[in-house]
Amino acid sequence: MPSSMALLILRRNLHGRTSSLLQARVFSRSPEAAAARQRASEPKPVEKILVANRGEIACRIMRTVRRLGIRTVAVYSDADAGSLHVRSADEAVRIGPAPARLSYLSGASIIDAALRAGAQAIHPGYGFLSESAEFAQLCEESGLTFIGPPASAIRDMGDKSASKKIMGSAGVPLVPGYHGDEQDVDFMRSEAEKIGYPILIKPTHGGGGKGMRIVQSANEFVESFLGAQREAAASFGVDKILLEKYITRPRHIEVQIFGDKYGKVLHLNERDCSVQRRHQKIIEEAPAPNVTSDFRTHLGQAAVSAAKAVKYHNAGTVEFIVDTASGQFYFMEMNTRLQVEHPVTEMIVGQDLVEWQIRVANGEPLPIDQSEVPLLGHAFEARIYAENVPKGFLPATGVLHHYRPVPGTSSAVRVDTGVEEGDTVSMHYDPMIAKLVVWGESRSAALVKLKDSLSKFQVAGLPTNINFLGKLANHWAFEDGNVETHFIEHFKDDLFDDSRHEKEAYEEAIYGAALVAACMCSKENSYFREGGNGLNSIWHANPPFRVNHCAERVFEFQWDNDNDGTGSKLLVLSLIYQADGQYDIEVEGEGNSLGFHVKVTPLVNRDFRVEVDGVSVQVGLATYEKDLDKHIHIWHGSKHHHFRQKLGQPLFDDDDSQHKPSFEMASHPQGTVVAPMAGLVVKVLAKDGMRVEEGQPILVLEAMKMEHVVKAPSAGCVHGLAVTAGQQVPDSSVLFSIKEYYPEQKE
Chain residues binding ligand ADP by CB under 6 A are: 100, 126-128, 175, 200, 202, 206-209, 244-247, 250, 252, 276, 279-281, 319, 321, 332-333, 335, 339-341, 429-430, 432, 485
User: In the beta sheet, which residues pair with residue 556?
Assistant: 572
Closest contact distance (angstroms) between CB of 176 and ligand ADP is 9
Closest contact distance (angstroms) between CB of 255 and ligand ADP is 13
- Whole-angstrom CA distances from 225 to 200, 220, 708, 709, 711 are 10, 9, 16, 16, 20
Give the start-end residues of each E strand in 446-503.
458-460
DSSP 461: S
Query: Which residue number places its CB atom closest to ligand ADP?
Result: 127
Closest contact distance (angstroms) between CB of 307 and ligand ADP is 16
Closest contact distance (angstroms) between CB of 70 and ligand ADP is 24
| CA 23 to chain CA mean position, Å | 30
Write the DSSP assignment of 698-747 as a string of letters: EEEEEETTEEEEEE-SSSEEEES----TT-EE-TT-EEEEEEPP-TTS--
Q: Which is nearer to ligand ADP, 335 or 525 (CB)?
A: 335
Q: Which is nearer to ligand ADP, 194 or 500 (CB)?
A: 194
Closest contact distance (angstroms) between CB of 136 and ligand ADP is 16
Distant-in-sequence contacts of 186-194, Cβ < 8 A, 24+ apart = 188/221, 188/225, 188/241, 188/243, 189/218, 189/221, 189/222, 189/225, 191/243, 192/218, 192/221, 192/243, 193/218
Q: Which is nearer to ligand ADP, 250 or 463 (CB)?
A: 250
Q: Which is nearer to ligand ADP, 277 or 296 (CB)?
A: 277
With b for 16 or more beta-carbon neighbours within 10 A and e for fewer, the 533-559 pattern comes to: eeeeeeebeeeeebeeeeeebebebbb
Rounded-to-integer distance, Cα 200 and Cα 197, Å: 9
DSSP 587: E
Q: Which is nearer to ligand ADP, 129 or 718 (CB)?
A: 129
Rounded-to-integer distance, Cα 471 and Cα 313, Å: 39
Rounded-to-integer distance, Cα 190 and Cα 185, Å: 9
Closest contact distance (angstroms) between CB of 669 and ligand ADP is 36
337 among known catalytic residues: yes
Q: Is 490 helix (H, G, I), strand (E, B) or coil?
A: helix
Q: Which is nearer to ligand ADP, 236 or 496 (CB)?
A: 236
- What are the respective helix, strand and coil percentages of the chain, to the nearest 5? 30, 30, 35
Q: Which is nearer to ligand ADP, 405 or 431 (CB)?
A: 431
Strand order across the beta sheet in which 672-674 lies: 672-674, 734-739, 716-719, 691-692
Q: Which is nearer to ligand ADP, 211 or 365 (CB)?
A: 211
Q: Which is nearer to ligand ADP, 333 or 364 (CB)?
A: 333
Q: Is 238 helix (H, G, I), strand (E, B) or coil?
A: coil
Q: Which is nearer to ligand ADP, 333 or 629 (CB)?
A: 333
Give the N- to C-terminal CA distance of the chain in Å, as an integer.
76
Closest contact distance (angstroms) between CB of 525 and ligand ADP is 45
Closest contact distance (angstroms) between CB of 343 and ligand ADP is 12
- Residues 598, 582 contacting (CB under 8 angstroms): yes
Rounded-to-integer distance, Cα 418 and Cα 59, Å: 6
Rounded-to-integer distance, Cα 555 and Cα 679, Å: 37
Question: Which position among 155, 213, 271, 337 bears the catalytic label?
Answer: 337
Closest contact distance (angstroms) between CB of 244 and ligand ADP is 4
Which among 507, 510, 430, 438 is positioned nearest to 473, based on CA atoms? Answer: 438
Q: Is 51 helix (H, G, I), strand (E, B) or coil?
A: strand
Q: Which is nearer to ligand ADP, 59 or 674 (CB)?
A: 59
- Whole-angstrom CA distances from 387 to 396, 425, 430, 440, 733 are 4, 10, 11, 28, 17
Rounded-to-integer distance, Cα 531 and Cα 105, Å: 52
Which among 417, 404, 636, 409 is positioned nearest to 517, based on CA atoms? Answer: 636
Closest contact distance (angstroms) between CB of 334 and ligand ADP is 9
Closest contact distance (angstroms) between CB of 676 and ligand ADP is 20
Rounded-to-integer distance, Cα 495 and Cα 275, Å: 13
Query: What amino acid positions are annotated as catalytic residues?
Result: 337
